[in-house]
Structure 1
């Protein structure tokens, strides 16, 4: 992985943590996620107008990923209703690299060196330490199934989009159409679960939702591009440095407790990133 790709993925990780922090601030997490989806669709439409129509081979991946993204958004919003940013985020993101790694090793041909594998495993260990507070600090365990469901969806769309963008041949075009499809699938699902109240929001909520959408779109466009030029499992692992950013944002913005476990986890995560560069 080149230095350019590394820095791009780390920047995307910061953007990803940032838009999650915005979602967490909303009174209704599903409403915040709906506004994010609308922003995604608007940005995606603008991108689509500047690009050719996707090739037929890309559409199975686009449709599959749109449905997986719908599940990801639903699970993540439900999880944030149950726990804070610095706990939900590590759980929601943490299991995904391990799932992607297993699939990449078993079914794909992406080359990875020994230190890449060690780096991924160290990242996974750091993520496990970050999430342990759910069990030791008396925090709500109701967030667990939602956060783990989000992690499974993350692994699913990481694989689908890495392969789909390669088939499409244009990562930006692919992400543009994906964001429109994701909004198309998510909106009726959210209304079915929470009623029409989910789509009612104040002017401030709309502004924050659109800001989150722009950050999310940029973060994922960078990540999908990176997955076309670097191993899928390695890109997925490096994206998990967003956990470090999320912990810092949770501490600074929401007053989340910064205990020894979180500090150890942060050191392990940074160490994992360094190992993937060796």
Structure 2
């Protein structure tokens, strides 16, 4: 992978960890995810007015990815209800690179070299070690996080294949897919009612504001990943993105007061070494 592309994906990793920390830090994560989704969908609605449409071949992937993203949002909220950020986030993210690599090999006929394969294994192994250190992950929390990881792998492979059929229009592909995020407020209102969505705007403006900001950060984070997958191997891009777990550990320690053991720091070093392998 070119250093320029790799650097941007690492930036996406930092951004991704940041919005996950924003989500985890809010008390009502379903409400927070809904306002994040509103910000994402609103920006996407504006952008699609000024961008050409993706090629027709990409539309089935846009629809499939948009729907899977909604499932991902719901499972992520469930995972964060049951575990600390430093546990749920690594399980969810650590399980996805290997699944993405397998999916890309099966459906997109991708292959990677031994050094990159080693890097992917190191990153996934290090991430899972981070999750298992410093505290016990409950069965319910692990299941929710693994389900989240499966949805991550699914939409990553879908988007990796779809963006390559978009006639080089990664921005258009991304924004049309993000339009499906309008389904999140529909789902929230159906479950809790409109008042539960709107009342916090006046009662908890800071929480709503941080959620809106998290949505904007999320757009940049995943937009970079989709752009990178136009040419880069899906498994490699996915694994490099999941170095966000290291950033999540740092954010959890500094801003959320979560404990970080020496073994967890060692696992972070393994993840970083895996990222170096992907850059070779």
TM-score of the aligned structures, taking structure 2 as reference length: 0.93
Task: Assess if the C-alpha contact under 8 Å between 2:228 and 2:237 holds in 1.
Answer: yes
List, as ranges, runs of 4+ consecutive aligned residues in structure 1 with deviation greater than 6 Å.
none
- Residue 231 of structure 1 is matched in structure 2 by 233
- Deviation (angstroms), 1:137: 2.5
d(CA) in 1 for partners of 2:279 and 2:137?
35
Matches within 5 A, 1:1-278: 1-133=1-133, 137-169=135-167, 170-181=169-180, 183-196=181-194, 199-200=197-198, 201-202=200-201, 203-278=205-280
d(CA) in 2 for partners of 1:198 and 1:87?
29
d(CA) in 1 for partners of 2:270 and 2:258?
20
TM-score of the aligned structures, taking structure 1 as reference length: 0.94
Q: Gaps spanning 5+ residues in structure 2: where?
A: none
d(CA) in 2 for partners of 1:110 and 1:142?
34
Deviations 1:140-191 (A, max 9, x none): 432122111110110010011111111112111111111111x133333334
- SS of 2:229 mapped into structure 1: helix
d(CA) in 2 for partners of 1:254 and 1:44?
31
d(CA) in 2 for partners of 1:117 and 1:102?
11
Q: Gaps spanning 5+ residues in structure 1: where?
A: none
CA RMSD of aligned residues (A): 1.6
- SS of 1:167 mapped into structure 2: coil
Aligned pair count reads 275
Q: Structure 1 pair 122/228, CA: closer, same or farther in 2 (3 Å)? A: same
- SS of 1:168 mapped into structure 2: coil
